[in-house]
Amino acid sequence: MMAAAGQSGAYSALVKADIAEWTPDEAPALIFSNAALQWLGDHDRLMPRLAAMLAPGGSLAVQMPRQYGAPSHRFLRDIAAAMFPDRFTLEDAHPVAPAAHYWELLCPFGEVQAWETEFIQHLEPTPGAHPVRRFTESTAMRPFLARLAADEASAFVAAYESSLAAAYPLRPDGSVLFTFRRCFFVMTRPD
């Protein structure tokens, strides 16, 4: 991703760093994150820290999935806790707060717009698996699978797949209408 961005010619500099510890050389005009910061904890420290780095008139623009309470994500936690209670304390789960929480966190730094939206995502049929399972395999399911041996992962995925049918029924063509919630906020510092 960094190589492709560098080749685009659109950026004067690219830095690979841990956003929780990153400190820019100069105050940025924009910090933008699309579906990344939900993987980090301690938003009450992180978001104000990022906002404070901005140049006058600069903006912090963030979008994060807010699926923690959705069946697609709740089933993962419930099944992991039931099947492997000694391995999954779920203390590392970092639910995204409601948009109003980020508004409260960031309003001391400037003007804030915060909102949530829930939209219907049409997931195409996937051979041999429920479409929601395929969707979550590369995102929410990854931390669970990473802690399991191959045979355990197979049993975990089978239990997850069977739980999805009632919550996300297949349409006649094998696709699914998947309700997905996202949290957005934009904070702009005064000039």
* pLDDT, tens digit (0-9, with 9 covering 90-100), for 9-46: 888 888 888 988 899 999 999 999 999 999 888 999 99
Residue 186, pLDDT score: 99
**Model confidence, pTM:** 0.84
Q: What is the CA radius of gyration of the chain?
A: 19
Q: What percent of the chain has pLDDT over 90?
A: 79
* pLDDT, tens digit (0-9, with 9 covering 90-100), for 73-113: 999 999 999 999 888 876 656 789 999 999 999 999 999 99
**Residue 183: which pLDDT band, with cuts at 50, 70 and 90?**
very high
Q: What is the dihedral of CA 28, 62, 46, 120, to 10 degrees?
A: -170
Contacts of 52 (CB under 8 A, 6+ apart): 109
Q: Measured between alpha carbons, how far is residue 52 from residues 31, 38, 78 in Å?
A: 11, 20, 38
- What CATH superfamily is the domain 27-188? Vaccinia Virus protein VP39 (3.40.50.150)
Return the domain boundaries, the chain.
27-188
